[in-house]
Every structure is written in C-alpha cells, then in structure tokens.
C-alpha cells in the first residue's frame, strides 16, 4: 500500500498521541518511520485521495499536533510515496539537507500575505496622481462624454496606470514586510492578486510582523490585504538537490 507523508522531523521528536488518526475515512493511524537522526510522520494512503475539506483538515491537524512539540518540515497535501521503504530511503539520501532545514526552521512559522486593489480606491488614487488623466476626463465630460476614440484612449491610459500601480504596490508589500521576517518566498502569480508572498517569521516575533502588516494596511488604504497564518513553513521546505521520491496525489489547496 502507498505511504502518505505528513512531514519530517528529528527522530528524537516527542511521541505523538496514541491512536492519532490522519487522512482517510476511517482515519488512517499515523505512524513514525525513523531513519537515523530523522523521522517521517506517515500513514497508509487511501485510494482516490482528493483535497476535500475533511482531508485537508486532517493533514493540518497532524502537523499542528506534531509542530506543537517541536520543529516539523511540513509536506504539501497529497505527498504520497510507493511504500515505507521509499520514504526511509529518501530520509537517508537527503539526511544532511533535512537536518539543516530542521535547524533553520526551528521556532519559525509562515505568514502568507496576498494583496489586491480596492477598485474604487485605486481608481481614485491613479486619477489623483495623474494630471493628464484628470484633464482628459474633464475634457470628455465637457464634450458630452467624448468621442469613441477619446473614450477608448482614456480607458487604455487608466488601465496602464492601474497596472503600473499594481507593480509598485507589489514591491511595497514585500519591501515593507521583509524587515520583520527572516526569509521571503514569492508565490506564483495568480489571477485576482497583485502580490502573493510568504514570510518566514520567528514565532516569538509574530506580533511585530502583524504590526508591520497593520502599518502597511493603514498606509495603503487602496490595498486589500489577506493574511493567513501562523502556518507551518510550507514555502520554506526545499525537497533537496534531487527530485522528490514522493508524488503528489493532489495539489496543495490554499489555506
């Protein structure tokens, strides 16, 4: 049977609660596979695994329980290996890398920040900052709305100004919050967000990071910020120099 991997930790990590269940219905018992100084938190992988809410919550619950007792390198939802021996082999092959990551991420959490524009507010901002746009808008108004070509030209200029503002704001989000974090990971572009950035934050400094977010929000009223965290540091776990031996049964869903 395939082996589902929740995370990697030190073999000295405190034991998990007895009869702890993970994904699946019924929940598959969570086991610990030890290999030298490392251990993997695993269970049997159910057939037809999908990123349903119950399964995502079960995956997160295992990591939360284990993470409360010590550092865990979280695997993305859907990480499945052919069998236990494959997982043990990966731990042995990448031992130094995983031990380095455990040291680097000890006591750290992840905050993901996504930013988008409040439409009316950003339009007001770009108009206020661009005298040419204001003049063209006023000229069109006085001429009864302007010709089709004039309206089209104005619309194109507004779109370009908003795009430029998006780029500026994406830079501001990262540069403003970066000093309050230990590391930064820029996420993939996605529709609806002008910035998608994860920050690695010392757990004891989380309050300072949230304060920095609130300062960013107050200084940029045309931005809508979505902050998700504290999370296990998913964005800062690198599988290492080789291709992962596990395969993803489902893409990691947004928290």
* Buried/exposed code over 48-78 (b: 16+ C-beta within 10 A; e: otherwise): ebeeeeebbebbbbbbebbbeeebbbbbbbb
Arithmetic mean of pLDDT over the chain: 87
Lowest-pLDDT range of 28-42, 91-105, 120-134: 120-134
H or E stretch covering 208: helix 206-219
Cis peptide before 26 (omega within 30 of 0): yes
Q: How many CB atoms lie within 10 A of CB 253?
A: 14
Task: Please check whether residue 227 is in contact with residue 113, taking contact to mean a CB–CB distance below 8 angstroms.
Answer: yes
Q: Is the pLDDT of residue 186 over 80?
A: yes
The span from the CA of 23 to the CA of 236, in Å, is 23
The arithmetic mean of pLDDT across residues 130-147, rounded, is 79
Provide the whole-model pTM.
Answer: 0.79
Q: Is the pLDDT of residue 145 over 90?
A: no
CA–CA distances in Å: residue 81 to residues 78, 147, 240, 248, 251: 10, 63, 16, 9, 15
Greatest C-alpha distance within the chain: 79
The arithmetic mean of pLDDT across residues 84-88, rounded, is 94
Q: In the prediction, which pLDDT does 251 show?
A: 38
Under the banding of pLDDT at 50, 70 and 90, the label for residue 239 is low
The arithmetic mean of pLDDT across residues 177-200, rounded, is 90
Q: How many CB atoms lie within 10 A of CB 149?
A: 8
The arithmetic mean of pLDDT across residues 205-234, rounded, is 93
């Amino acid at each position: 049977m395939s082996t589902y991997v929740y995370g990697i930790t030190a073999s000295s990590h405190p034991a998990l609660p007895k009869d702890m269940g993970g994904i699946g219905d019924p929940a598959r018992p969570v086991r610990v596979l030890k290999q030298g100084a490392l251990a993997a938190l695993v269970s049997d992988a159910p057939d037809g695994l999908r990123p349903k809410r119950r399964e995502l919550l079960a995956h997160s619950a295992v990591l939360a329980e284990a993470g409360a007792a010590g550092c865990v390198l979280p695997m993305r939802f859907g990480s499945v290996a052919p069998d236990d021996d494959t997982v043990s082999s990966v731990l042995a092959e990448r031992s130094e890398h995983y031990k380095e990551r455990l040291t680097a991420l000890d006591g750290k959490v992840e905050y993901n920040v996504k930013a988008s524009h409040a439409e009316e507010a950003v339009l007001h901002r770009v108009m206020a900052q661009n005298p040419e746009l204001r003049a063209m808008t006023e000229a069109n108004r006085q001429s009864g709305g302007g010709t089709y070509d004039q309206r089209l030209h104005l619309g194109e200029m507004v779109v370009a100004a908003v795009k430029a503002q998006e780029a500026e704001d994406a830079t501001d989000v990262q540069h403003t919050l970066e000093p309050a974090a230990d590391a930064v990971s820029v996420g993939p572009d996605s529709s609806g967000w002008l910035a998608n950035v994860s920050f690695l934050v010392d757990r004891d400094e989380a309050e300072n990071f949230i304060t920095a977010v609130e300062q960013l929000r107050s200084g940029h009223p045309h931005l809508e910020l979505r902050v998700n965290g504290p999370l296990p540091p998913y964005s800062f776990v690198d599988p290492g120099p080789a291709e992962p031996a596990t395969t993803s049964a489902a893409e990691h869903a947004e928290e």
